[in-house]
């Protein structure tokens, strides 16, 4: 049995948490990359900016800075992710339209 990943949030008390990076928190990320959580987690994905994802999972060149990682409650993360979710929906819609026209 996995222990729940809970964080004490000033606004939402104890809540499930997810990891993200400072670029998403600050709103400076150009896009977001979902990182699948381990099975049994309360959340399906953690979220990173493309540059943090590359440093952590692709390049693997030890330039990853743990100070770029932030753990937040899922309720706060949902608010933070709203602009990115709209952007992702528009992008998916454009890709679908291009495929239909091809």
Give the tens place of pLDDT for each residue, 35-77.
888 777 777 788 999 989 888 888 776 667 788 899 999 999 9
Please report whether residue 83 resides in a domain.
Answer: yes
Give the residue numbers spanning the domain of 85. Answer: 6-101
Please report whether residue 75 resides in a domain.
Answer: yes
Total structural domains within the chain = 1
Q: What is the mean pLDDT of the chain?
A: 83
Distance CA 14, CA 17 (A): 9
- Which comes out higher in pLDDT, residue 79 or 66? 79
pLDDT of residue 14: 94
Nearest by Cα to 46 from 13, 2, 12, 80: 80
pTM as predicted: 0.74
Distances, alpha carbon 98 to alpha carbons 20, 91, 92, in Å:
31, 11, 10
pLDDT of residue 92: 58
* Percent of the chain at pLDDT exceeding 90: 34
- Does 99 have pLDDT greater than 80? no
Please report whether residue 1 resides in a domain.
Answer: no
């Amino acid at each position: 049995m996995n222990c729940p990943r809970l964080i004490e949030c000033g606004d939402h008390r104890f809540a499930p948490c997810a990891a993200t990076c400072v670029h998403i928190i600050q709103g400076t990320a150009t896009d977001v990359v979902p990182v699948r959580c381990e099975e049994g987690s309360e959340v399906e994905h953690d979220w990173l900016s493309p540059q943090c994802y590359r440093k952590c999972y692709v390049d693997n060149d030890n330039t990853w800075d743990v100070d770029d990682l932030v753990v937040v409650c899922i309720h706060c993360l949902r608010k933070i992710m709203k602009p990115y979710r709209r952007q992702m929906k528009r992008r998916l819609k454009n890709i679908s339209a291009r495929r239909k026209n091809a």
